[in-house]
Every structure is written in C-alpha cells, then in structure tokens.
Amino acid sequence: MARIRGKIFESFRELHLAGRKAIAWLIDPDKSTVSKIRELGISKFPVDFIFVGGSQMNIDNFEEIVSEIKSEAGSKPIILFPGSHSQLSHSADGLLFLNLISGRNPRFLIDEQVKAAKDLQAMDIEVLPTAYLLVNDGKLGSVHYASQTLPMLNSDVEEVVDTALAGRFMGMEMTYLDAGSGSDSPVSSEVILKTKNVIDGPLIIGGGLDTIDKCKSAFDAGADVLVLGNAIEKDPSLLTEVLDNIQIRNFSLNVN
C-alpha cells in the first residue's frame, strides 16, 4: 500500500534542515529505450536521486523503461515525475504527487490526481505531495503545451512566492520550481531565495540548469535539490563540475 513520509521524504527533509545539497537526474522516458538506458551507465553517476517522467501523456513501454532504470541504478531511489496518471510503475520507489498550482487547468490541479489515486493506493510506493510551479522568463516548452498552462514569470516574484506558500498551506510537503526542460531562462535566484524563506520545506529546482554558474546560483539562493536532465547526457562533465565545486550531500539511501 502507498505511504507518505517514508525514507525518501525524510532524506529530502534532512537536506532541508541541514542546509546540505543534492542532485537528481531526470530521465525522460519519451526519449528512452531499454537499450539506451543500459548505455547510460546510471550506476556510475554520483547523483542522489533518479527522477523518471516526461510531458508526453501516454508512453507504451513506461513500466519496462522504469524497470530497466531500477535494475541499472543500484541503491539510488527511483522517483516518478509523472506527466499524467498513466505514468505509474511498480518498479519505482517513490512518486512526486504533483499539483500544478502555477496554472489553472483543472486537469493538472485535480483530474489526473483522481485518476491515479486508486491505482496508486494499491502500489508499494512512497507518495511525496509536491507543489509544482512552472517559472521562467516567458518561454514556452513542451511541458507548457502539454499542460495547457503558461509559466509564471521570474519578474512576478511575489506572485510566485504567494502561490508556493498557498501550496504549503494546502499541505504539500515539498515545492518544485521548474523552468521547463531546455529552457534558456532558469528559475531566478530572487524567486528561489524568497520562496525558500517562506515555505519551510524541501525546495527542488529544475529546468535550464546547463552550466556550473547556473547550478551554483540556484544552490546559493536556497535550492535543496537540483534536477539535471538533458544537460548531463549532453555533457557528463557538468555533473563532475557541480560535484567538485559545490558541497553535495551524496548520501546512500537504501530503499530496497
């Protein structure tokens, strides 16, 4: 049966309380095959979490992809980052139960969550209630088209902060600010800093983090976890740079 506040959440909470940092690698199943997963050498990458998910609604081999990632990842926790209710897998250790509160599309505020609830309850998986906000300088990406929502703007700092705070008051344990895959404008340092000051919980930042300077700025502003995706696959040395230049938690969380 699904559970809340297990080992994975406690690891995020520990990072937040201790002021330490961690890296999550986001693998997009839309662009993956079993053979490609095997070629990635996932176990060799010193990341703390593996996120799996994409903006495509239905992925025929999703369970097969997640199962292969799990077998390749060793002890690294596999956490689903679902684009729809169909992106569930018995092979995963956890799931970000996302509520897209930056938009007003009811499908991603409640509809997809309701469709997933019964199946999720029957799974042996840890559920992580997460406020999800799309934030950048206005560029639209695949996640915006798929969710039929517009990103909040980095310039509207107070609106972003108030939205994140509303999510916290609604009981969402974690907050994820995402600029979107491939964005050339990551979530701004000011938005991260001011959000961090009010939410009192783990803060995840993703999207557009393709240089060491951007990663360092996000961590310095208060991010607990950075999510790197395409940037790692295109340039594995970026991860090495981040690990060499920033104090990373690098714990081994046994979820098996």
| Secondary structure class of 145 (helix, strand, coil) | helix
Does residue 255 lie within any of the structural domains? no
Does residue 197 lie within any of the structural domains? yes
Radius of gyration of the chain (CA): 16
* pTM of structure: 0.94
Provide the token pair at 39.
């070629």
* All residues at 6 or more sequence positions from 244 whose CB lies less than 8 Å from its CB, including other chains: none
Does residue 66 lie within any of the structural domains? yes
Which residues sit opposite 235 in a β-bridge? Answer: none
Tell me which residue has tokens 């009811």: 106
**CATH code, domain with 127:** 3.20.20.390
Domain limits for position 232 = 3-245
pLDDT, tens digit, for every residue of 140-195?
Answer: 888 888 899 999 999 999 999 999 999 999 999 999 999 998 888 999 999 999 99
Q: Return the minimum-mean-pLDDT range out of 141-145, 203-207, 228-232.
A: 228-232
Does residue 254 lie within any of the structural domains? no
Does residue 256 lie within any of the structural domains? no
Query: How many structural domains are present in the chain?
Result: 1
pLDDT, tens digit, for every residue of 58-116?
Answer: 678 899 999 999 999 989 999 999 999 999 999 999 999 999 999 999 999 999 999 99
Does residue 24 lie within any of the structural domains? yes
Does residue 250 lie within any of the structural domains? no
Provide the token pair at 227.
């999510």
Q: Return the minimum-mean-pLDDT range out of 48-62, 149-163, 202-216.
A: 48-62
Does residue 251 lie within any of the structural domains? no
